Amino acid sequence: MRVHVARKRFGQNFLIEPRVVADIVAAIAPARADRLVEIGPGHGALTAPLLERLERLDVVEIDRDLAASLARRYPGAHLTIHTGDALDFDFAALGPELRVVGNLPYNISTPLLFHLASFAPSLRDLHFMLQQEVVQRMVAAPGGGDYGRLSVMLQYRFDVEALFTVPPEAFAPAPKVHSAVVRLVPRPPAALTARDEALLARVVAAAFGQRRKMLRNTLRDMLSGEELAALGIAATQRAEELAVGDYVRLANYLAAR
């Protein structure tokens, strides 16, 4: 049998530590009838225990060799394999109350998280293994260096919880950094008060585009210093000092104006 060599272009680091697999499955706690999709199943370290607990499982795998290997190991309708890029995948097509899991490639983790956020109304929860630095940014509170565009946009859409860290030796090949497992649960529709989410995204991107500068500079094409003050925000503040709710207020003011 030919040994599959991890491909750098796909950011492949395969999970090999049984204890970590068990911890992830326990965190997910899948019920038999759950609709679940795994991103990047690889050699099936998570796929196998999930299949034991589910009536059916969907997986999205970009590597055609790995997809073919999974198809040979798990023939039949119990496992549905979608061969392609998760960045282009229509997760809403799998139905409502979808649970998404995966050991995400580090090289596409941020764009993939933003892609998945667009499907939040169809999602029940998400459990991901990511680079620990990315998880720290996801859960960061205002005021620190980890707090940024990713923090604000994900925390607007989800309740985000870091679960546990994973050492490099749990993978083959071993990455040069620690990883962490994170849980995201979509916030209820009533909590999503932005009138125009695309506008919210533009405000956040502009504020953090030059995070060392004051808001009077980064947002000058959108808001005057007087408008910021009227909204209870000092023009001398920097992007990392504003909470998620502050950005929603700014965006809603602009939408109304």
Per-domain residue ranges of the chain? 8-189, 197-256
Q: Which pLDDT does position 88 carry in this prediction?
A: 95
**What's the pLDDT score for residue 6?**
43
**Per-residue confidence at 7, pLDDT binned at 50, 70, 90?**
very low
Mean pLDDT of 11-15: 75
Q: Which CATH number fits domain 197-256: 1.10.8.100, 3.40.50.300, 2.60.120.10, 3.90.1750.10?
A: 1.10.8.100
How many angstroms separate the CA atoms of 162 and 59, rounded?
Answer: 23
What is 8-189's CATH topology? Rossmann fold (3.40.50)
Q: How far apart are CA 76 and CA 57, in angstroms?
A: 11
203 pLDDT tier (thresholds 50, 70, 90): very high
pLDDT at 218 over 90: yes
Q: What is the pTM of this model?
A: 0.91
How many angstroms separate the Cα of 33 from the Cα of each of 102, 103, 126, 171? 19, 22, 17, 30
Q: pLDDT tens, 78-133?
A: 999 999 999 999 999 999 999 999 998 888 899 999 999 999 999 999 999 999 99
pLDDT in tens, 133-155: 999 999 999 999 999 999 999 99
Q: What is the mean pLDDT of residues 9-26?
A: 84
Residue 2 predicted with pLDDT over 50: no
Examine the pLDDT at 183 and tell me if it is beyond 60: yes
Conformational region of residue 171, where left means phi above 0, alpha means psi within -120 to 50, and beta covers everything else: beta
The pLDDT value recorded for residue 242 is 98
Percent of the chain with pLDDT over 90: 87
Give residue 13's pLDDT.
82
Q: Residue 8 pLDDT more than 90? A: no
Q: Any idea which of 2-11, 99-108, 189-198, 227-236 has the lowest mean pLDDT?
A: 2-11
Please give the structure tokens belonging to residue 3: 């040994």
Mean pLDDT over each residue of the chain, to the nearest integer: 93
3-class DSSP state for residue 40?
Answer: coil
Q: pLDDT grade, residue 12 (50/70/90)?
A: low
Instruction: Tell whether the model's pLDDT for residue 210 goes beyond 50.
Output: yes
The percent of residues in the chain predicted with pLDDT above 70, rounded, is 95
CA–CA dist 135, 59 (Å, integer):
23
Tokens found for residue 156? 């607007």
**Could you say which DSSP state residue 174 is in?**
P
